[in-house]
Chain A
Amino acid sequence: MTIHASYGEAFERFAAALPATERAARAAAFDTFAQRGLPDDGIERWHYTNLQPFAAQPVHLALATAAPDLSAWRLDGCDEHVWINGRALNDAAAPAPLPSLDAHAGLAGLHRAFATPGLQLTVPRDVRLDRPLHVLSVSDAREAGEMFHLAHRIRLERGAQALLIVQNIGLPGATRFSTQSLSIELAEGAQLTLVRVQDEARGTTHWLQTAADVGRDARLDVVNVDLPCETADPIPGEAAAAKASGTLIRSDWRVKLAAPGAHAELSGLFGADGRVHLDNQYEIDHAAPHGTSRQWFRGLGFGPSQAILNGRVVVQRGAQKTDSEQRIANLMLAKGAEIDAKPELEIYADDVKCAHGASCGQLDDAAVFYLRARGVPEAQARALLIYSFINDVLARVPHVALRLRLARRITARLGAGLDLSEATLSGAAA
């Protein structure tokens, strides 16, 4: 296990600034990282994604930078919480408990050793937040190898409700390495909708782990938009190294239906192009009876690249009357695109309903012709049909302005200007 000396140096600097009470736990976490290193592709769950090379590269703690202009990302009507390079812009940086993560011990150790507090949210009993929370985690790397690690913690007490939008924004610049955790706890009857928008810059290596515990009759809705939408043109201010190196985004989602009647609905849009490697690992753990889970994933193969989706459903012994469904559909849009989408079922109970299916296809020629026969040029016809394909998932984004922005961004990525406005969105009032 080679770990570059700069990790240790960075940790010493980081630990020196911590309150004495925190140091022991952090040092233990760092030791785990030092012993276990980063995951390599010899591990089953990391078969497609090897982080080991990053352990051998020099890193340093991301520098503090001034707040950038965020107007392009701002969403009306939301409570905004901003982190820049892992530092809170407007939230109190109160010490927070370290997250417990299980995707990989060494990686979790690294995250725990360096984690800075992200959103620390508790919604009290029966309170419904009437404004969505918009978390913007901005990465602004000026020098190669900058890293930061951010830990969010969300707890909804009994009957509480909230909508949370977590957006990761990478400003163009140097190569970087960041990790992020979302620890979620939903008490009885609580309801959380989480929208995650991955908008990282080129040259980024990013790991996200979400760990959610869903309580009795509680409900978690996740919409994960994990698509490269950058243009192929060089971005001003982008360093040559970042331009040349790829982007690697790995996300682990663990949802535990911990008590009877818990419900989780995960949906995701994912797709990679030549510069981006995406890996999403979902696991829903039915640990109690009468749990229901739904998963809807849509993959887009933009270009020669690889995107991975693993959707695992575990039904524990005793989790009777579990009702779970998972649908994966992939659309291949270019030669050389590769999507590895795999459903995985592990069932230890006998009275359950588990359905799953995966399909992979191309745009329907009859539909392309239908549009063209009405005068829509071919490129635009294709864009409309791709929009149709992703809309199932997009329509689950409850914030209309965000949905519209995502739709515009994705269709712009397809290179055919579609006239999208609120009035033309399906389901909007005409």
Chain B
Amino acid sequence: MSQLLQIENLHAEVAGKEILKGLDLAVNAGEVHAIMGPNGAGKSTLSKVLAGAEDYVVTAGTIRYQGRDLAALSAEQRAAHGIFMGFQYPVEIPGVSNMMFLKAALNAQRKERGEPELDAGDFLAWVRHRVKQMKMDPAMLSRGVNQGFSGGEKKRNEILQMLVLEPRLMVLDETDSGLDIDALKIVADGINAMRSPERATILVTHYQRLLDHVQPDVVHVLAAGRIVKSGGPELARELEEKGYGWLQQAA
């Protein structure tokens, strides 16, 4: 099994404050990893560092993705190379239709990879198929990006974008939060549809219920900026029962 992502001794800060304090994580292609942990532990920070947010500064350590150093790549290059982050808080962009947004994103990625842009007809078919898969109303395509969407609709839209862009490493930051039971199932189906031997998924979550639908291979606990424990799927259930207190004491 080839290693897709390898993080060693990662230190990162935001606004001058160190959040990640020596984090190690290795993810193989084909795997699903869940990352759980208390509020403020640094889970979103890790996601944003992976996606290339510039206000999150790596001060030490390395991140290798597909064997190359990620530090050299801008956020948009990372996206083109297959890194997708599902935002904990997706941004609203009124007036820019989902259609315009998806087209700009997909074609920019294809261009960066040296692939031809999709023509309008192929693109429309590509997107519509996935809108259906996510059981969304096709009319959403002409609405502004996340404009007036409910919390759950925004999360569903994140997964739609993921399906359209077909990334290789998916980092989904609390994509399950705020979803009702039906939406959770649809989102989980979307994530499972993307599972393949070449791809890997990191699920940042607080809840077991997503993991009931998307079986993780490994579960990690992130606390105070580090991975303090890793285990199998049973660890998630244990955490749900006992909380994080016992681990933080151990760490």
Interface set of A (CB-CB < 8 Å, partner B) = 364-367, 369-378, 380-381, 384-385, 387-392, 394-395, 418-421, 423-430
Contacts and interface: CB of A to CB of B under 8 A. Distances in A.
Contacts of B200: none
B165 A375 contact: yes
Contact of B95 (A364, A365, A391): A391
A384 B101 contact: yes
Contact of B52 (A373, A376, A419, A421): A373
B105 to A, nearest CB: 4
Contacts, number: 120
Contacts of A388: 93-96, 144
Interface stretch (B20-28, B84-92, B230-238): B84-92
Contact of B76 (A378, A395, A424): A378
B45 interface: no
Nearest to A419: B103
B94 A391 contact: yes
A395 B143 CA distance: 13
Contact of A380 (B51, B78, B90, B104): B104
A373 B103 CA distance: 14
B104 A427 contact: no
Contacts of A419: 100, 103-104, 107
Contacts of A391: 94-96
A384 B53 contact: no
Contacts of A380: 104, 108
Contact of A372 (B76, B97, B142): B76
Contacts of A371: 93, 101, 104-105
A372 B79 contact: yes
Contact of A430 (B75, B87, B90, B139): B139
B141 interface: yes
A284 to B, nearest CB: 25
8 contacts: A370-B90, A370-B93, A374-B105, A377-B76, A387-B95, A388-B144, A392-B94, A423-B99
A412 to B, nearest CB: 15
Interface in B40-70: 51-55
Contacts of A364: 91
A67 to B, nearest CB: 36
Q: Which among A372, A387, A389, A427 has the greatest number of chain B C-beta atoms within 10 A?
A: A372
B120 A423 contact: yes
Nearest to B91: A370
Contacts of B96: 384-385, 387-388, 391, 426
A300 to B, nearest CB: 14
Contacts of B139: 430
Nearest to A420: B100
A359 to B, nearest CB: 15
Contact of B91 (A367, A420, A425): A367
What are the 5 closest A-B residue pairs judged by CB atoms, nearest first? Answer: A391-B95, A375-B79, A424-B100, A430-B141, A375-B109
Contacts of B165: 374-375
B151 interface: no
Given A373-B75, A374-B165, A426 B97 contact: yes
B80 interface: yes
A200 B163 CA distance: 46
Interface in B126-168: 138-139, 141-144, 161, 165
B52 A426 contact: no
Nearest to B94: A388
A372 B107 contact: no
A365 B53 CA distance: 10
Contacts of A385: 93, 96
Contacts of B196: none
B192 interface: no
B74 interface: yes
A426 B144 contact: yes
B217 interface: no
B212 interface: no
Contacts of B54: 369
A426 B51 contact: no
B240 interface: no
A429 B142 CA distance: 6
Contacts of A376: 76, 101, 104-105, 108
Given A376-B104, A387-B95, A420-B100, 13 more contacts: A367-B93, A369-B53, A371-B104, A372-B52, A372-B74, A372-B75, A372-B76, A374-B101, A375-B105, A376-B101, A377-B76, A391-B96, A426-B97
Contacts of B120: 421, 423
B170 to A, nearest CB: 12
Contacts of B138: 430
B8 interface: no
Nearest to B83: A373
A388 to B, nearest CB: 4
Nearest to A391: B95
B112 interface: yes
B177 to A, nearest CB: 18
Given A387-B95, A430-B99, A373 B51 contact: yes
